[in-house]
Chain A
Amino acid sequence: MKKIAVIFGVLLAAGPAIVAQIPSPGFGPGQAPGLGPLVNGTDFSGTWRPNQLVTDSQTAAGDLADFGGIPFTDAARLYALAWPASRQTVKQHQCMGYVTPYFWYAPGNYRIWEERDPFTQRLTAWRFFGQIAQGDRTVYMDGRPHPPAYAPHTFAGFSTGQYQGNVLTVTTTHLKRGWIKANGVPQSDAATVREHYIRHGDVVTVLAVIDDPVYLSEPLSKASMLVRQAKDPDAWLYACDDSEQIQGRKNDVVPSHLFGQNPYVREYADRRKVPLLAAMGGAETMYPELANKVSDAAAAEALVKTRMTPSGPAIASRAPDPMPNDGQIHTLHVAGSVYMLTGDGANIAVQVGPQGAFVVDTGAGKLSEKVIEAIGKLSSKPIQFIINTSFHPDHTGGNAKLQAVGADPSLTGSFFSLQFADAGQGATIIGHLNTQVRMQDHKLSPAPSDTFLEDRRRKYHNGEAVEIFPQRFAVTDGDSIVHFRRSDVIVTGDIFTTTQYPFIDVKNGGSLQGEIQSLNFVLDRTVYIHDEDGGTMIIPGHGRATDEWEVAEYRDMLVIIRDRIQSMIRSGATLQQVLTARPTADYDPRFGATSGAWTTDMFVEAVYTSLKNAPKIDAK
């Protein structure tokens, strides 16, 4: 055992250097167009178990407030300290999947197998399957590119591999937010993970390097070790199925510790007799100079106290913008008959079929000709319906041009177009009554002519039921979400985005409480395929297509921020005091903005105002 530990230590220290010195065969000789590169290398096929020694030393779950050696940012520390284990009882967290490299620290069996083209016998992919959480990863070896940034993320992510000598190097992007350690230390959805698989007989060492612009200040290296099993084990399945673990809990309750009030912050440090500064993590805890800092106990204590609550200036998002912003319209097939068009303000959803396109939102109107061209590639028939999820110009700016291409002389006399008066001259624009009113007030035209107020509007179009649900007091007092039921795609408008804090337009009837309620409304309609991946797909107002997990994370964030600001309001805090306290500090590197149309301060002010003048909305 000692010997293994020594080997492991050497590998851990020398891994990157070893990898760097191994010559890469490249993709030149043997590469045929369309077939991908000819790759050959170590065979990792077989069934494996994680080495207990390594897994224990890395502790996938970990003790509370044990963050030593993790080069995370101050924001990540705040995130971790706000996390209580009780969060795992929230429905969407019970079956959360595992991102890599956490994937390799789960207990249970692993299987690795190769996939080969049946005609050429070329290696096309490696497959990794983990029993716990039934994690299923594909590592493409055929040279394909990674998907665009606006494509959905998953817990497995999107992986491509290359052999560097006998080392298999795997690069994974498109990961969801997961754990570095399941004691609250997050790995963000902007992380890129590079894994190096090195086989020595019946042992595989996986050296992973995580780059996370949101929550790490330096790359984090983690190693795990797999030991081959001589006999194929019989335990492979572990289907997770969420339930009402805590009965009676309302759906707007998300357990969290307020900043500076984690009661267990000293538990690990005291028990292990580790200086608290060392247990609190950060890049400094990786280096020997830490010894100097902790040598003066009083100074170290004073220093660590400054890290329990937000400090320093506000931080803008460090996550890459998923939008191409290249002056082009990009089309993504989301599910069934539904596509997402991105590139002109808010996302546009398009459902196609024999009855013509059904469009949700029309973008900012700057690239409408290209939007129309993109829709034309999906459907040659006139646009029949347009829904506006909000009156905001980035959702309605293309109304006029898209409505015009809905002209269909063959439908004259039908109620399908522009209602009866102008039948056949354009697509019918549907929206909440308040959207119509606000657009008229703001002199935005054309506004929806087909409106609804409190009840859902429903259509059966292109072979599927389409439900349009009014959402009062969320972003504005006239929002809608749209559910394409057969395709199982929900279009949320700006109630949910993956790029910023919600634009709660208080002046036009928006509120935090309505926003949270609307997100829960969406979550009441979603079903995942497996472990919070896939199933009902979500097209957000802005950002990438996704599924329920990221809606739940967004809901959680808003509830947690609400609880912090509510607590400060109860203590008599003014808006300025709330802003100074930075109640969003742990989420700012992901969603924050210090300039532009919707800054973090504007969001905090909207939350503060909503809570001071609460609309009458009850959680379930």
Chain B
Amino acid sequence: MKRTLLLVALAASLFAGTLYAHHSFSATYDTSKTVMIEGKVTQFLLRNPHSFLHIAVTGKDGKEEAWNIEWAAAGQLGGAGVTRESLKVGDPVAITGNPARDPADQRLRMVTVKRTSDGFNWGFRQGQTVD
């Protein structure tokens, strides 16, 4: 697997407090862990209740795996300047996120995203959290 998988024990303070959301993120994701993946955008769905970014990650065996990244609500992303055109199919991205409790989902809760070709990013400034 070419996928870079970093297990990072994040400072709990980053996500401290009640997650006040459409649904419970702590029930859905292991918020004590963060993994990093690199791949190419296959689809970006700007939606409520939450947006999704789909990524193709190439494994060591050369096969592609589909990863499903849960992002913020459309309004929240819009407020941060993210539009439907911000990410396009084929864009190379590096993503950190909390892994889903159910590994079969191949899903992350977005913590940060960075387009490696030009530095476009989200999640590095205050308020840029998925909640």
The interface of chain A, by Cβ under 8 A from chain B, is: 55-56, 59, 61-64, 84-86, 88-89, 94-95, 106-107, 132, 182-183, 235, 238-248, 255, 264
Contacts and interface: CB of A to CB of B under 8 A. Distances in A.
B105 A182 contact: no
21 contacts: A59-B18, A61-B19, A62-B27, A63-B24, A64-B26, A86-B102, A88-B23, A89-B105, A106-B22, A182-B24, A182-B27, A183-B27, A238-B73, A238-B75, A241-B47, A241-B48, A243-B45, A243-B47, A244-B45, A247-B43, A247-B68
Nearest to A247: B66
Majority DSSP secondary structure for residues of A touching B: loop
A61 B21 contact: yes
Contacts of A235: 75
B23 A61 contact: yes
A458 B56 CA distance: 42
Contacts of A239: 48
A84 B28 CA distance: 8
Given A61-B27, A85-B27, A94-B49, A245 B21 contact: no
Contacts of B20: 55, 107
Contact of A56 (B18, B49, B75): B18
Contacts of A56: 18
Nearest to B29: A85
Interface string B34-77: 00000000110101110010100000000000101010010100
B33 to A, nearest CB: 14
Nearest to A61: B24
Contacts of A106: 22
Given A243-B45, A243-B52, A264-B101, A182 B66 contact: no
B24 A85 contact: yes
A528 to B, nearest CB: 14
B35 to A, nearest CB: 17
Interface residues of B, number: 30
Given A61-B27, A107-B21, A182-B23, A86 B49 contact: no
B49 A245 contact: no
A240 B49 contact: yes
A372 B6 CA distance: 71
Contacts of B54: 247
Contacts of A64: 24, 26-27
A85 B27 CA distance: 6
Contacts of A84: 101-102
A243 B69 CA distance: 13
A325 to B, nearest CB: 40
Nearest to B106: A246
Nearest to A93: B23
Contact of B70 (A55, A132, A244, A245): A245
Contact of A248 (B18, B19, B66, B100): B66
B79 to A, nearest CB: 10
A95 B28 CA distance: 16
A89 B100 CA distance: 12
B45 to A, nearest CB: 4
Nearest to A264: B101
Nearest to A86: B102
Contacts of B23: 61, 85, 88, 182
A273 to B, nearest CB: 18
A439 to B, nearest CB: 45
Instruction: Choose among A88, A183, A247 the residue with the greatest number of B CB atoms under 10 Å from its CB.
Output: A247
Contacts of B48: 238-241
Contacts of B43: 244, 247
A132 B75 contact: no
Closest 5 CB pairs of A and B: A61-B24, A85-B28, A85-B27, A86-B102, A243-B45
Contacts of B70: 245
B107 A246 contact: yes
Contacts of B18: 56, 59
Contact of A63 (B26, B73, B75): B26
A264 B28 CA distance: 11
A51 B19 CA distance: 15
Interface string B96-108: 0000111011110
Contact of B68 (A182, A183, A242, A246): A246
Contacts of A63: 24, 26-27
A326 B38 CA distance: 65
A240 B74 CA distance: 10
A255 B75 contact: no
Contact of A86 (B21, B47, B100): B100
Contacts of B73: 238
Q: Give the one of A106, A241, A243 with max B CB within 10 A.
A: A243
Contacts of A55: 20
Nearest to B51: A243
